[in-house]
């Protein structure tokens, strides 16, 4: 049935405690870094994309979005050896020229935005490095020039790996990153904040 009044529910972590990787409890919510085996991250973290020449940028960790998305401009499609490919540019705020990439397309997927607009986007498989973990995940390519950050990491990529504290940022990130994002017309939009 229920728990007796005044007794803590053992199924819910106490947010006023810090759980280390070994399960040891210490500290307060302001120092919370892991719950059980899952590391706690902030809503904004530094990520690296090793398959794209180790591009490093700031990303929004968004548990409300299913699929991850990467800012891309000048998206072009083609075929090579019977397989679909996508070519795109990733602007860099630190350099005048954008970085050019060519990747195989897994599929095209209909994505609905948080405000209800739908868009068909190419899906690519990218290696993602976050909080000293590296794994491959599906990422859609879209123009995110009207967004605060050049990448969104969705719940499919985070599932089983991390918990997100929406009140914190950069819990696993170095404070200074070279953020690759928009061109000079948007300099500072994705700046290291």
Q: What is the pTM of this model?
A: 0.74
Res. 134: pLDDT tops 70: yes
Tokens of 30: 């302001």
Q: Which domains are delineated in the chain?
A: 41-186 (2.40.70.10)
Which candidate, 121, 122, 90, places its Cα nearest to that of 104? 122
142-152 pLDDT, tens per residue?
A: 999 999 999 99
Of 182 and 174, the one with more pLDDT = 174
What is the mean predicted confidence (pLDDT) over 160-187?
Answer: 67
- Rounded CA-CA distance 178/35 in Å is 30
pLDDT score of 191: 36
16-28 pLDDT, tens per residue?
A: 334 444 333 333 3
Tokens of 4: 């007796």
Query: What are 12's strand-pairing partners?
Result: none
Instruction: Give the burial string for 82-96 (b: 16+ CB within 10 Å, else e).
Output: eeebbebbbbbbeee
């Amino acid at each position: 049935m229920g728990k007796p009044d005044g007794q803590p529910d053992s199924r819910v972590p106490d947010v006023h405690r810090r759980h280390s990787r070994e399960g040891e409890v210490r500290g307060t919510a302001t120092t919370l870094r892991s719950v059980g085996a899952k590391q706690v991250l902030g809503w904004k973290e530094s990520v690296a994309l090793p398959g794209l020449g180790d591009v490093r940028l700031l990303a929004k960790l968004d548990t409300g979005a299913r699929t991850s998305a990467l800012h891309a401009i000048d998206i072009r499609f083609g075929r090579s050896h019977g397989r679909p490919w996508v070519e795109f540019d990733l602007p860099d705020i630190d350099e005048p020229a954008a970085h050019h990439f060519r990747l195989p397309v897994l599929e095209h997927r209909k994505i609905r935005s948080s405000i209800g607009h739908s868009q068909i986007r190419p899906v690519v498989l990218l290696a993602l490095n976050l909080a000293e973990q590296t794994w491959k995940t599906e990422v859609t390519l879209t123009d995110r020039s009207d967004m605060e950050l050049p990448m969104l990491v969705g719940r499919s990529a985070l599932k089983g790996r991390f918990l997100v504290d929406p009140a914190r940022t950069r819990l696993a990130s170095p404070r200074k990153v070279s953020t690759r994002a928009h061109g000079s017309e948007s300099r500072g939009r994705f700046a290291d904040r």
